[in-house]
Structure 1
Amino acid sequence: MDSISNILDTSKPSLYLSLFAIAFNPTVWNIVARHEYRNKTITRIFGGDPYKGCYFLAFMIFTFGILRDSLYHKALEEQPKVAMLPEPYATLVPAVMFVMGQIFVVTSTWALGVTGTFLGDYFGILMDHRVEGFPFNVLRDPMYVGSTLSFAAGALWYERPAGLLITLYVYIGYIIALRFEGPFTDMIYAKREEKRAEKKD
């Protein structure tokens, strides 16, 4: 137990707040988006305009993402500090990881656009075709991979082993979220294709 306490301080409320925020974001946004798909509640609030509804949800997701990141950094500050990599790798490795992570996040957002990134398909705003350029020609889910890399980079940069455990938690959370998001999104597009086929007939 002493060895665990050397890298993880479970007495800090900031740790649990961070874990809660990390789980909250993908869980709630998936629930909200599915509810929107079935009931169009947000769209109705914005006078029947799905774009305004999607932009509102995008703002909320982005804002809560910033809050999640700030809670993560607060949690790292209050966890035990332990050197994990020798210099110059202690600064070089996390810096490279962070840059790579942000490249994946930013380029995937650019490729998808606001509505493609922030669950626009649940609002009925569908893309004409699948995005196949960078970074989607390298990774299937570059945004989630990029985010995970950024969490790991923060843990290594601040030399907090607890941050790597949180990163594992993030990764598991994303895997679970994708098991719900992927099939549901595929269903939305499959229905679109069925309607197109019916019109042709």
Structure 2
Amino acid sequence: MDSKTAGALLNEFYSLVDYTKPSFQISVFAIAFNPTAWNFVARNEYRNKTITKIFGGNARYGTYFLALLIFSFGILRDNLYHWALLDQPQKAILPREYATIVPAVLFVVGQLFVITSTWSLGITGTFLGDYFGILMDHRVEGFPFNVLRDPMYVGSTMCFAATALWFERPAGLLITLYVYIVYLIALKFEGPFTDMIYTKRAEAKAAKGQ
């Protein structure tokens, strides 16, 4: 493929993305809002125990409350994405013989990663319980963590891509790339902070001679 052909394809792709649609802009905002907000809330909880105090010092109830918020806002984000896709130009992306099977498989595998991650970590492990002081005894090493380092984020990204392919909206693929970048940035903040929490626990245990 020469540069002229590639340029023409890129121009055609971008012509099928309507950035002016409010639904597109709201979806992009919601995608960035979720991981950003929960990182801020979780760090505040670690330092100030704000949510724990609301629930009378019960960290587990606080974690469940945050889990409900994260889950609910996740559903809202997905609905806003769906709304944004239906508001965008439609064009076949895959050959007809693959137009159904590829997004279906991609979505099923993505959901498998998300669901099995949640099952392996549990509610408190999935929804930032370590920021509330509810730490896991051992690192989870079974499936899907023996396949991917961050299976929940990868699985979620796969579902975004699958939905874009299913509804044949090129704009959805652009949003999926944006989702992937947002998750990478979130992990740059979330990963080191979580590691710090567990390192401090290990140091505290070592100081006590346990």
TM range (shorter): over 0.9
Alignment of 1:148 onto 2:157 = yes
- Aligned CA RMSD, in angstroms, stands at 1.2
Matched, 1:121 2:127: no
Q: Percent identity?
A: 72
- CA deviation after TM superposition for structure 1 residue 145, in Å: 0.2
Deviations 1:103-127 (A, max 9, x none): 0000000000000000000000000
Residues in 2 aligned to 1:14 and 1:31: alpha-carbon distance in whole angstroms: 25
The residue correspondences of 1:1-201 to structure 2 (distance < 5 A) are: 3-4=12-13, 6-200=15-209
Q: Return the alpha-carbon distance in structure 2 between the equivalents of residues 9 and 19 of structure 1.
A: 13
Aligned equivalents of 2:105 and 2:13: distance in 1? 28
| TM-score with structure 1 setting the length | 0.98
Distance 2:12 2:140 in 1: 46
CA 1:197–1:65 in structure 2 vs 1: closer, same or farther (change >3 Å)? same
In the alignment, residue 145 of structure 1 is paired with which amino acid?
Answer: V
Q: TM-score, normalised by structure 2?
A: 0.94
Q: Any stretches of 5+ residues in structure 2 without a counterpart?
A: 1-9
Aligned length: 201
Ranges in structure 1 where 5+ consecutive residues have no aligned partner:
none
Aligned-pair distance for 1:5?
5.3
Looking at structure 2, the residues matched to 10 and 55 of structure 1 have their Cα atoms a distance apart, in angstroms, of: 37
Distance 1:51 1:189 in 2: 18
Q: Is the 8 A contact 2:13 2:170 kept in 1?
A: no
CA distance in 2, matches of 1:14, 1:71: 7
SS of alignment partner, residue 57 of structure 2? coil
Output the amino acid matched with 2:31: I
Q: Hey, what's the Cα distance between the residues in 2 that align with 1:141 and 1:29?
A: 17
